[in-house]
Amino acid sequence: MTLSQLIRQKIYERELMLIRRDAITFVWQIFLFLVLAAVPVALYFFIRKEFPDYLTGPISYPALLVLGIIYYLAIWIFFYTNFIDYYLDMWIITNDRLIDIRQEALFSRTIAELDLYKIQDITSEVKGILPTIFNFGNIHIQTAGQEGKFNLLNVPNPHDLRKRIADLSEEDRKYHIRQANGTL
């Protein structure tokens, strides 16, 4: 997807950064998938030990098999859907705007944007053991406009990113002042 498909791109506007949630936040989904995938295996060994007839019965065996196949198909599609949810959440920073794209569910997508020169206050935070170890956290942006608060959640290197956004905001503010004064 190109930037012009998302927003009405200005002539001088260019994409500087594309940010996604830190990859480590998706690792627990992989872990959950592996645990869920192991459940039928554990059940199989339990049934083989306690109720071995169920695995040879002319009706029980096909029924268990069909149940197992449905279960694995369900967790496989669930896992891929979660990946889509993770991967399609992103923030695009240009030299003029910040675009917040959220895939909230399979049929729910929100796109919001804010002008960088409107940023009033920007805060970054890294809280917790895992965020500190893997250096990811949140950035909260307060704007002067009606957009209110923008939150970039679980992004990598939040402190560096905050500085970068603050610099870009300052540059954009100067640009707009020069534009207003007619010195451009």
Partner 1 sequence: MSVPLSIILLPLALFALIFVVFSLINIAHMIRFAAFDMVGFFATFIFLAGSTLFMWYAWQLLSPIDWTMPLNFSLNIFTQMPQ
- Binder to partner 1 among 62, 128, 145, 148 (CB under 8 A)? 62
Side-chain-facing half-sphere of 106: CA atoms under 13 Å: 6
Cα–Cα distance between 163 and 139 in angstroms, integer?
A: 11
- Binder to partner 1 among 8, 49, 53, 59 (CB under 8 A)? 59
Q: Identify which of residues 74 and 177 has a Cβ nearer to partner 1 in the complex.
A: 74
**Binding positions for partner 1, 118-177, rule CB under 8 A:** none
**Binding positions for partner 1, 80-119, rule CB under 8 A:** 80-81, 83-84, 87-88, 101, 103, 106, 109
Which three-class secondary structure state does DSSP give residue 147? coil
Torsion angle of C-alpha atoms 151, 30, 66, 53, degrees rounded to 10: -140
State the distance between the two ends of the chain, measured CA to CA, in whole angstroms. Answer: 32
Cα–Cα distance between 98 and 96 in angstroms, integer?
A: 7
Q: Is 63 in the site for partner 1 (CB under 8 A)?
A: yes
Written as six digits, the tokens of 103 are 């895939």
| Piece of 79-87, 137-145, 161-169, 175-183 that binds partner 1 (CB under 8 A) | 79-87
Show the binding pattern over residues 11-50: x = contacts partner 1 (CB under 8 A), - = does not: ----------------------------------------
